[in-house]
Amino acid sequence: MSKIYFISDFHLGAPDPVSSLEREKRICRFLDEITPDIEQLFLLGDMFDFWYEYTDVVPKGYTRILGKLAELSDKGIPIHFFVGNHDMWMKGYFEKELNIPVYHEPKAFELKGKKFLIGHGDGLGPGDHGYKFIKKIFRNPICQLLFGTLHPWVGIGLANYFSRKSRESTGQTKLSEKDWLGEDNEWLLIYCKEVLEKVYYDYFVFGHRHLPIDFEILPHSRYINTGDWINYNSYAVFDGVTMSLQYYPS
Ligand SMILES: [Mn+2]
């Protein structure tokens, strides 16, 4: 029980049930293997390709990962969940059923004496005004309430359509966007630099980018991106001394 793990972007449910199930089992195997070492587990969003929780109903599927998280949580391992842009519609199920706190904004933590800023990473930094506008609508309580009144057959159908569209624009199909854009164009890196002008952090840890990144912003201050489990099976791990990006063999 001595390492802190950061992992993101499973996108379970996508692009089809067969590959999603294979991925879900792989993630559970990974969690099994690291269980003896986990001091804390940070899930940095987009665990599901689409998750909308109705007041009394949750989406079908994902029983393996939910069961695994329940098992870890029941062992007393602290787990944190940051919502992603694909699974922001959470309504207390994780808190009540799994005892996992859910965060909707980046949050500062002090871990093993180091300062961390942790989040999913969507909508931060310059540009992307189209998404920032849509995010406001998605997060609007009245819009959420109205969506909840749609029959799931309609609501989830619509959501899956938009989720597919969003995925097409955030990297699963547009391969070129996966490439490192350069120090001056990586918007999460720009965001980290802006934050650093006001507050110091040893580590900025985000997901969303679907590209594993370990970038030294200043001596001792790094931006880590956890990548994804579609192409990389990547995760970050901090043992109190070393922070490193690692890859689970598929
Ligand atoms: Mn994602």
Unique residue bearing structure tokens 């002008």 = 197
- Whether 32 shows a pLDDT value over 60: the answer reads yes
Between the CA of 146 and the centroid of ligand 1 the distance, in Å, is 25
Distance of CA 34 from the midpoint of ligand 1 (Å): 23
List, for residues 136-151, the tens digit of each pLDDT value: 888 899 998 899 999 9
The pLDDT, as a whole number, for residue 165 is 77
User: What is the CA(47)–ligand 1 centre distance, in A?
Assistant: 8
At residue 230, does pLDDT exceed 90?
yes
Please tell me the total count of domains within the chain.
Answer: 1
Ligand 1 centroid from CA 246, angstroms:
18
**Pairwise CA distance, residues 39 & 238, whole Å:** 10
Residue 175 has pLDDT above 70, yes or no: no
Q: What is the CA(28)–ligand 1 centre distance, in A?
A: 19
Helix (H) or strand (E) holding 118: strand 114-119
Distance 170 CA to ligand 1 centre (A): 7
User: Which tens digits make up the pLDDT trace of 62-80?
Assistant: 999 999 999 999 999 999 9
Q: Per-residue DSSP letters for 127-143?
A: --HHHHHHHHHHH-HHH
- Cα angle for residues 178, 184, 186 (degrees, 5° grid): 30
Reduced DSSP (H G I as helix, E B as strand, rest coil) percent helix, strand, coil of the chain, to 5: 35, 25, 40
**Domain that includes residue 126, residue range:** 3-247
pLDDT tens track for 83-120: 999 899 999 999 999 999 999 999 999 999 999 999 99
CATH of the domain at 34: 3.60.21.10
pLDDT of residue 9 exceeding 80: yes
Any idea which of 6-15, 24-33, 38-47, 174-183 has the lowest mean pLDDT?
A: 174-183
* Ligand 1 centroid, distance to 248 Cα (angstroms): 18
